[in-house]
Each structure stands twice: as C-alpha cells, then as structure tokens.
Amino acid sequence: MIAHIANLGLWEWFKLRRRWMLWILLIFALMFAQLAVWGGYFSYQNLRDTGGEVTVPATLQQQQGRVPRTVRCNDLLSGDPARQPADLDTQVTAGLAAQCRQLAPTLPARLSRAYGSFTLPGSIPNALNTIQTLGLILMAILTASAIGIDYGAGTLRSVLTQGTGRWPYLTAKFLTLAVLTALGLLVAVASVALSSTIAGGLAGTPPDAAGTAATWSDTGIALWKAWVSILPYIALTAFVTVLARSSAAGMAIGLGYYFAEQLIVALLTNFFSWFQNVADFLLVRNISGWTGGAGGFPGTVLPDQTHAIVVLAVYTLALGGIAFWLFERRDVQGATGGG
C-alpha cells in the first residue's frame, strides 16, 4: 500500500509540475524571502549611515498626510553646523540630539541585531517568519487547485475507475502537498542563504558587537515550525474543497479565513472578554502561537507553544479526517466546471 501511495504521489507531482500555478506561487515565495533579506540589509545600511533616526515632534511637522519627518542622529551629534537641520528651532534640535545621545549606547546592539537579520544563520528564521504567513496563503491556493481540479474537470471519475482507491488517492495528494511545502521552504531557505552571503559581503565588516542570538539549530527549528504550521491550513483548505467540491470555495476560504479570524477575534474580544478563551482555540492564532509570530492585532496574548501544537494537531486530524470521510462515502459526479 505504501508503494501504491508513493506511486500516486509521484504522478500527482507529474500533474502539478506541469501547471504554471506551482511555479508562480514559488516565485512569490522566493520574492518574499528575498524581501526579508534585502529589507534587513537596507535597514542595516540605513542604521549604520544615520546612527539611527529620531522623529521630529508631530506638533512641529507641517506635512500632514505625509511620512513623519525624521532627523539623522549622526548629523545631530556631529557638531557640524552644516549638518544640523536648518529649519528647526535650536531648542528642538537640542532636544532631538539629547534623544540621540540616549539611544547611542544601544546602537551597537541594534546594529548587531540588524546585521544578524540578513546574514547567516539569523537571516533564515527571519525570512521564514515572513514566508510562513505567505506560505499559508500560497499553499491554500495550491491545495484548493490540486484537489478541486478533479471536481471541476470531472477527472475524479476517470481517476477512480483506474483502481486507485479513494483514500490512497487523497492521501497521496495530502502527502505530495506536504512534501511540496517542505521543498518550497527549503528552496526559499537556499535562496535566502545565497542572498545572505551576497548581502553579508556587500555589508563588509560586521559591527563590533557582532554575534547574533540566532544559531543554526534555531534555523532548523524555524524551518520545522514553518512547515508544521502550514499543514493544518492545508487540511482546512482540503476539507472545504472536498465539502464544496470546488476549488474556488477552497481558495476563498483558504484566503479569507486567515484575515477573517484575526478581524473577528479583535472585534469580539473588545466586546466580550470571555471571547479571548474561545480565540485561544482558533486556527490562525494557534499557528501564530506555534511559530511565535505577531498573531495579528497588537496587544493580543498568543497561546503558548504546547497549547498551540495540540490545537493544530486536532485541527489537522479533524479537518483531514472529515475530508477523507466525505471523499470516501460520497458518490462521484461529473464535471462541476472550473479547475
């Protein structure tokens, strides 16, 4: 049976790799990974060049609707009159310089953190944090499409009459998607490693206080967490696609649920304090709790990792289980349209 499922998985890959969608989604993932690295690099360069920036008090800014004006600490602390902001009152300038002096002792640590965010190994957990959120959405699209096409094009009938068996066929799809998720993350990590090496070279000598908190084992853990966090979302999308026999429904729920849950939690916890307890059992919050992500709206307390992994396992098993049950017991109809 294992050989049979493995064979079905290989043929699932045969189909998927011929779809543009897979490669477009991968390009998106790689672009976001690069964004994390190069965003970190430019942020570091900016910090190094400016020595940090302080914001001009809002009451003095006459540029409503525009980005708040900032002043470079290196300019303020240089003592060079030519580098002082000419349009600001000397008292204000002195105040801003005082702020910069306060921040100055933290600069080496900030530089070190910024440097670590785009150089190995710290760049990988940092990039995975970005890719993981996008990965949920990309895998929701791929899952809905991979499962939904058999309903839309009516190919499920042709597939099952080949004697594949129902549950082995769906199992092979799940496993292929899980493997593709891992491979996608690995490719993204490889691209991050490459660009981190380049960015590290461009950045030159590391800051004095170099030495980041991230280690190579953190990288492995981040990769594992990112992969595990996507699995319940694959289960959710697969469940909706099988339930509605439609890739469109799967994609809609897969894309919409991520944002809808955060919005609902933010709204209802404001009105009802007890809703916080309910929210601790919702999918996206536990994904965030597991990966240690931002968890949507600021100020919310995320579930701890043990709680999160148990909830995610229950979601994966329950949603996946119902999807299998429906897939096994329902009659197979003709094409429903779409793909």
**Residues interacting with other proteins, by CB under 8 A?**
7-8, 10-11, 14-15, 18-19, 149, 153-155, 157-165, 168-169, 329, 331-332, 334-335, 339
Looking at the Cβ atoms of 164 and 191, the one nearer to other proteins is 164
Looking at the Cβ atoms of 117 and 145, the one nearer to other proteins is 145
CB of 182 to other proteins, least distance (A): 23
CB of 165 to other proteins, least distance (A): 4
Looking at the Cβ atoms of 242 and 302, the one nearer to other proteins is 242
Whole-angstrom distance between the N-terminal and C-terminal Cα of the chain? 29
Looking at the Cβ atoms of 95 and 339, the one nearer to other proteins is 339
Looking at the Cβ atoms of 151 and 227, the one nearer to other proteins is 151
CB of 303 to other proteins, least distance (A): 41
CB of 7 to other proteins, least distance (A): 7
Looking at the Cβ atoms of 84 and 164, the one nearer to other proteins is 164
Q: Are 210 and 115 in contact (CB under 8 A)?
A: yes
Cβ neighbors of 314 (< 8 A, separation 6 or more) are none
Does 108 sit behind a cis peptide bond, omega within 30 degrees of 0 on the bond before it? Answer: no
Amino acid at 272: F
CB of 3 to other proteins, least distance (A): 10
Does 121 sit behind a cis peptide bond, omega within 30 degrees of 0 on the bond before it? Answer: yes
Which tokens in the block code for residue 11? 């043929």
CB of 158 to other proteins, least distance (A): 5
Cβ neighbors of 138 (< 8 A, separation 6 or more) are 25, 28, 29, 184
Give CA 222 to chain center in angstroms. Answer: 11
**Euclidean distance between CA atoms 332 and 277, whole angstroms:** 40
